[in-house]
């Protein structure tokens, strides 16, 4: 029975299905990746591997319209957002092609006794498994595969079940860029098969971007088999507003931070924590601005909010919203869901005894909180199992830095949203995962930091 399928979320139509990989074929893929690593990591230079990744970047740009079209149909991303994602993925590949040699150069260690020489030499680990999500089909792969292939690792990539065509398109790009057979291999594996891949002694590490549940299952398996693991999981990022010189601009940033990628981003702002004297004005403007954005055809020019990625996603979000209202939250604005088209909603009066206080809403639903001071704002911001990103808006730089130090999160953005870049590390703490991707740190996860000491 096909497990991988393209189901257009804007129509519900099943466009194409793909069979899962056979067990024998999967074992062969692991073997090919393992064999490829033996030559790929030892008989090629960093510069040669970087040249292939640079060509991967170029092919993303050359094929950007087709690549964007694929993910619009797979997960409902707007055309503008899809093109932006392809461009960002290309930028990530280019960034690592340009900087990998510097990141991987030998790191000298000053010996206290002055005798001889010591340094760290970075090298590849071997075959790595990437388990990727549906919400950013190209970007998520780029930040994992780009640096690791230049390092000399080889990649087995299991994409989300609803993203088979983008998965195949990426594999084709690597082949066309000159990557040898086994350097990058797409696998349409089942969950049971993935457990076998993690257990295989030829596989040295696994990176997963997904839910807390999936992260826990993968971490347990990886730990049992002593495999390095990087996890990028969920988030319920706070957006804290203390002061502003331009409330309208701040509201616009808040809406953008909540509705980016149809509201389906782990590091989207989801809880808006506003100081008392700005709360009423902010909520009035924010609610009006959220209501003004209604879901529409993702292929149409000017569409800001497309459908949610699937019927299951829409039903789950509706159930969360309904349950929040039943438990006493005030629904300041909402609309009527039509299939996967989910209109923005804003919740107020959410209290710690409600499910909504603890849950991640993966779609265009925002929560607003009134606070009396900085301490209360930080208390609410940190009162979550998540710790991915956070946003602080203030005209007081000292306050910004003070609050940034006190927030339990992997990232703090001050007076800006949607500021991700290839050179900036991405990752979280607590239930949001462990490890980092992007930037210099993204090239330092799946490496052997080998000490070499030479006597004087």
Please state the domain extents for the chain: 4-234+431-454, 237-383+389-421
Catalytic residue among 85, 165, 232, 359: 232
**CA-based Rg of the chain, rounded to a whole angstrom?**
23
> How much is the pLDDT for 114?
77
Catalytic residue among 161, 163, 171, 266: 266
Distance of CA 393 to the CA centre of its chain: 23
* Per-residue exposure over 25-60, b if at least 16 CB sit within 10 Å of its own CB, e if not: ebbebbebbbebbeebbeebebeebbbbbbbbbbbb
pTM: 0.97
**Which long-range CB contacts under 8 A does 300-305 form with residues at least 24 apart?**
301/79, 303/78, 303/79, 303/80, 304/78, 304/259, 305/78, 305/259, 305/262, 305/263, 305/344, 305/364
> How much is the pLDDT for 115?
84
* Domain at 237-383+389-421, CATH class: alpha beta
For the chain, list residues with pLDDT below 70. 1-2
- Report strand pairing: 330-333 vs 345-348: antiparallel
Sign of CA dihedral 268, 272, 278, 280: positive
Q: Please indicate whether residue 62 is annotated as part of the active site.
A: no
Q: Please indicate whether residue 266 is annotated as part of the active site.
A: yes
What does the alpha-carbon distance between residue 450 and residue 441 come to, in Å, rounded to a whole number?
17
> How much is the pLDDT for 271?
98
> How much is the pLDDT for 2?
54
Under 8 Å between Cβ of 364 and 263: yes
DSSP for residue 432: G
Spatial neighbors of 377 by CB under 8 A, at least 6 apart, are 240, 242, 273, 275, 371, 403
The CATH label, of 3.20.20.70, 2.130.10.10, 3.40.605.10, 3.90.870.10, for the domain at 4-234+431-454 is 3.40.605.10
> How much is the pLDDT for 1?
42
Query: Which stretch of DSSP H or E encloses residue 155?
Result: strand 154-158
């Amino acid at each position: 029975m096909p497990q991988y399928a393209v189901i257009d979320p804007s129509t519900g139509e099943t466009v194409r299905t793909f069979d899962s990989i056979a067990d024998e074929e999967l074992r062969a893929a692991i073997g090919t990746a393992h064999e490829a690593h033996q030559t790929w990591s030892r008989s090629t230079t960093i510069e040669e591997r970087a040249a292939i990744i640079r060509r991967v970047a170029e092919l993303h740009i050359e094929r950007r319209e087709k690549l964007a079209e694929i993910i619009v149909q797979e997960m409902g991303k707007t055309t503008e957002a899809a093109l932006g994602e392809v461009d960002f993925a290309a930028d990530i590949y280019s960034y690592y092609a340009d900087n990998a040699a510097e990141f991987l150069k030998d790191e000298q260690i000053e010996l206290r006794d002055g005798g001889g020489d010591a340094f760290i030499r970075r090298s590849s680990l071997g075959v790595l498994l990437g388990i990727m999500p549906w919400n950013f089909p190209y970007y998520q792969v780029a930040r994992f595969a780009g640096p690791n292939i230049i390092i000399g690792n080889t990649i087995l990539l299991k994409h989300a079940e609803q993203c088979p065509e983008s998965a195949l398109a990426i594999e084709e790009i690597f082949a066309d860029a000159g990557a040898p057979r086994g350097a990058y291999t797409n696998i349409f594996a089942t969950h049971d098969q993935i457990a076998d891949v993690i257990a295989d002694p030829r596989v040295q590490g696994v990176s997963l971007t997904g839910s807390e549940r999936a992260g826990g299952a993968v971490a347990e398996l990886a730990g049992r088999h002593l495999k390095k693991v990087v996890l990028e999981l969920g988030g319920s990022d706070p957006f804290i507003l203390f002061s502003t010189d331009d409330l309208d601009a701040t509201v616009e940033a808040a809406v953008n931070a909540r509705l980016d990628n149809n509201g389906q981003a782990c590091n989207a702002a989801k809880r808006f924590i506003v100081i008392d004297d700005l709360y009423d004005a902010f909520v009035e403007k924010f609610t009006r601005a959220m209501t003004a954005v209604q879901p529409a055809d993702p292929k149409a020019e000017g569409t800001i909010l497309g459908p949610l990625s699937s019927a299951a996603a829409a039903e789950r979000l509706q159930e969360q919203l309904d349950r929040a209202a039943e438990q006493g939250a005030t629904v300041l604005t909402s609309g009527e869901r039509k299939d996967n088209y989910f209109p923005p909603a804003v919740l107020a009066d959410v209290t710690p005894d409600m499910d909504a206080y603890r849950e991640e809403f993966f779609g265009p639903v925002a929560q607003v909180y009134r606070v009396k001071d900085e301490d209360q704002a930080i208390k609410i911001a940190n009162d979550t199992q998540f710790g991915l990103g956070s946003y602080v808006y203030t005209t007081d730089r000292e306050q910004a830095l003070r609050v940034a130090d006190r927030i339990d999160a992997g990232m703090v953005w001050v007076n800006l949203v949607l500021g991700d870049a290839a050179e900036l590390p991405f990752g979280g703490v607590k239930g949001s995962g462990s490890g980092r991707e992007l930037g210099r740190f993204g090239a330092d996860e799946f490496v052997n930091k080998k000490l070499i000491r030479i006597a004087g």
